[in-house]
Amino acid sequence: MNVMIIIPAFNEEKHVKDVVTTALKYGDVIVVDDGSSDNTIENARSTGVKVIVTKTNKGKGH
C-alpha cells in the first residue's frame, strides 16, 4: 500500500523536521509551505522531501 502524506506548514522551523521524519515512517511526504518567514522551507528540504512553496500566506482554507 502506498501512502502520500501532505503536511501544511507555516512558520514551523522548530518542528517541521521532526514531524517530517516521523511521517516518513508511514509513507511518502510532501510539505506545503504557506508563505513562512522563518527557516521552515530549508528545514523541510533538509529531510529530502518535496516542498511546495507559496510566496504569501493563504491560510488553511486555501
**35-46 confidence digits (pLDDT tens):** 999 999 999 999
**Residue 1: pLDDT above 60?**
no
pTM, to two decimals: 0.89
Q: What was the pLDDT predicted at 39?
A: 97
pLDDT in tens, 7-32: 999 999 999 999 999 999 999 999 99
**Residue 49: pLDDT above 90?**
yes
Which residues are CB-neighbours of 35 under 8 A, at least 6 positions away? 10, 54, 55, 56, 57, 58
How wide is the angle at C-alpha 47 spanned by C-alphas 50 and 16, nearest 5°?
A: 90
Q: What was the pLDDT predicted at 59?
A: 77
